[in-house]
């Protein structure tokens, strides 16, 4: 590969960027975020501009209703972003100083930060080595007298083991809350007290800016979130509690209303791509692939036979009960070298996440050290995410597969097979 091309690729990768470079598959391409929906979004935005209503109003009300219906839940309350949704959800459940909250040891740090922000203490629990979601078998042992809630995360789009968590929560009178920032489309809402969503632009349902929501069947939680997110005020200039300003704005709501209609179709396309990766990378040496969901009932059912959109969303029975593909996370013993080789061949990747929260500087004062959560540490040391978004072409998917296979073959050590996190996890 010549110098110019390498330079071009370096500039285009591995960021979340728009790529115009032939032969380059960036990890994410937000320039494509409005593909096929640009005109509808333009119309939605124009409607807001014409209305002169930029905070609240009918776009926000309609989106909240439509997203609640989509989730099969009673209410959705828009927030400024996903982190705020988590904080407001915790506050609305009365969780604060002196309380402990169970969190996964492997998650995006926002989950932990939200618990810390309300003054509660995080109680990290290691994941199940197959699903990478919090392991219910370890939750019970981690509970303290002060534990008030389990905050599960549907990491990478994989639903946590909700029936088992629900049972523990019921027995121990705990709140069961979900960080659903990576799982738009999982039909799990009836099993939780509340879920927090992010509509960060790269999410399966992404706004064109920051946005989030709390979704719940509990009218009291919804009401509290609404009040807390609006300066603690129900009536303008009269404040019941010390709230914050974290509102979903009308422009983002209008954009999300359009994109919500396409979410099932986009999730189905992600599913197709993930299944190709799983099929065609299965025999690649030293590459640990994510576990596929056994819930296959809905695969591909979002496409109408005439190729048009399936915008039917009034019931969630046609959606996956336990998986939507958000991130395609593979694991490899020489992750950095693999990443470099893929970049050199035009394939962008990202690491989700290079550092588990307990080893971050932000949590140094808690006294956690390397070795405290070995599975989370091993996952952080070996994880690499392949491109996975609904606008990837078949050719691009083929390129990712071919380049990944080739790079892994070149990196494979002659002897000593790499022991996977799944293979070794049982010994920890
Ligand atoms: C698991 C998880 N939780 C919380 C968040 C926070 O969402 P936001 O960036 O909208 O604040 C994110 C998004 O990045 C996330 O992936």
Q: Map tokens 């952080």 to a residue.
A: 380
Q: So what's the pLDDT on residue 320?
A: 64
Q: So what's the pLDDT on residue 229?
A: 98
Tokens of 4: 């110019």
- pLDDT tens-digit map of 354-372: 999 999 999 999 999 999 9
Mean pLDDT of 127-149: 97
* Interior angle at CA 311, CA 306 and CA 316, nearest 5: 120
Atom index in ligand 1 nearest the CA of residue 111 equals: 3
**Other beta carbons less than 10 A from residue 144's beta carbon:** 11
Angular region, 72: left φ>0, alpha ψ -120 to 50, beta rest: left
Instruction: Compare 297 and 109 and report the one with higher pLDDT.
Output: 109
- pLDDT tens-digit map of 44-83: 999 999 999 999 999 999 999 999 999 999 999 999 999 9
- pLDDT tens-digit map of 154-183: 999 999 999 999 999 999 999 999 999 999
Residues with CB under 6 A from ligand 1: 81-83, 107-108, 110-111, 153, 179, 181-182, 198, 200, 210, 212
Instruction: Compare 188 and 364 and report the one with higher pLDDT.
Output: 364
Domain ranges of the chain: 3-33+262-425, 38-259
Mean pLDDT of 306-316: 33
Could you say which DSSP state residue 89 is in?
H
Q: So what's the pLDDT on residue 22?
A: 76
Q: So what's the pLDDT on residue 328?
A: 98
Q: Map tokens 């996964």 to a residue.
A: 104
The preferred substitution site among 16, 86, 87, 108 for testing ligand 1, maximizing ligand atoms within 8 Å of CB, is: 108
Residue whose CA lies nearest to ligand 1 atom number 8: 82
Mean pLDDT of 333-355: 97
Mean pLDDT of 210-227: 98
CATH number of 3-33+262-425: 3.90.1150.10
Radius of gyration of the chain (CA): 22
**Measured between alpha carbons, how far is 177 from 114 in angstroms, rounded to an integer?**
12
Q: Are 92 and 366 in contact (CB under 8 A)?
A: no
Q: What percent of the chain has pLDDT over 70?
A: 85
Nearest to 325 by CA among 212, 141, 186: 186
pTM: 0.90
Q: So what's the pLDDT on residue 295?
A: 52
Q: So what's the pLDDT on residue 418?
A: 60
Q: So what's the pLDDT on residue 317?
A: 40
CATH number of 38-259: 3.40.640.10
Mean pLDDT of 325-351: 97
């Amino acid at each position: 590969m010549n110098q110019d091309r390498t330079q071009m690729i370096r500039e285009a990768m591995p960021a979340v960027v728009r790529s115009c470079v032939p032969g380059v598959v960036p990890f994410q391409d937000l320039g494509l975020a409005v593909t096929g929906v640009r005109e509808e979004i333009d119309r939605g935005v124009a409607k807001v501009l014409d209305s002169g209503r930029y905070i609240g109003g009918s776009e926000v009300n309609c989106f909240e209703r439509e997203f609640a219906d989509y989730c099969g839940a009673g209410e959705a309350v828009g927030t400024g972003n996903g982190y705020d949704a988590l904080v407001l959800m915790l506050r609305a459940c009365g969780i604060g100083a002196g309380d402990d909250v169970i969190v996964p040891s492997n998650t995006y740090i926002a989950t932990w930060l939200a618990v810390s922000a309300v003054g509660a203490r995080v109680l990290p629990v290691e994941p199940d080595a197959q699903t990478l979601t919090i392991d219910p078998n370890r939750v019970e042992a981690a509970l303290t007298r002060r534990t008030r809630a389990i905050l599960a995360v549907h990491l990478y789009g994989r639903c946590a083991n909700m029936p088992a968590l629900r049972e523990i929560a019921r027995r121990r009178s705990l709140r069961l809350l979900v960080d659903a920032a990576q799982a738009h489309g999982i039909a799990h809402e009836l099993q939780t007290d509340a879920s927090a969503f992010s509509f960060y632009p790269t999410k399966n349902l992404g706004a064109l800016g920051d946005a989030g929501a709390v979704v719940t069947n509990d009218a009291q939680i919804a009401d509290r979130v609404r009040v807390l997110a609006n300066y603690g005020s129900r009536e303008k200039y009269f404040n019941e509690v010390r709230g914050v300003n974290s509102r979903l704005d009308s422009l983002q709501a209008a954009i999300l209303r359009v994109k919500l209609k396409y979410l099932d179709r986009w999730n189905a396309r992600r599913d197709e791509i993930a299944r190709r990766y799983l099929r065609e990378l299965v025999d690649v040496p030293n590459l640990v692939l994510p576990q596929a969901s056994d819930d296959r009932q809905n695969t591909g059912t979002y496409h109408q036979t005439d190729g048009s959109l399936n915008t039917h969303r009034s019931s969630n029975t046609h959606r996956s009960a336990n998986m939507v593909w958000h991130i395609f996370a593979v694991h490899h013993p020489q992750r950095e070298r693999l990443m470099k080789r893929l970049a050199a061949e035009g394939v962008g990747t990202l690491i989700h996440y290079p550092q588990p929260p307990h080893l971050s500087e932000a949590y140094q004062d808690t006294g956690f050290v390397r070795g405290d959560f070995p599975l989370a540490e091993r996952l952080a040391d070996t994880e690499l995410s392949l491109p996975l978004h609904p606008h990837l072409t078949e050719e691009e998917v083929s390129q990712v597969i071919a380049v990944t296979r080739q790079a892994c073959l070149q990196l494979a050590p002659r002897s000593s097979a790499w022991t996977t996190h799944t293979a070794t996890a049982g010994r920890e």
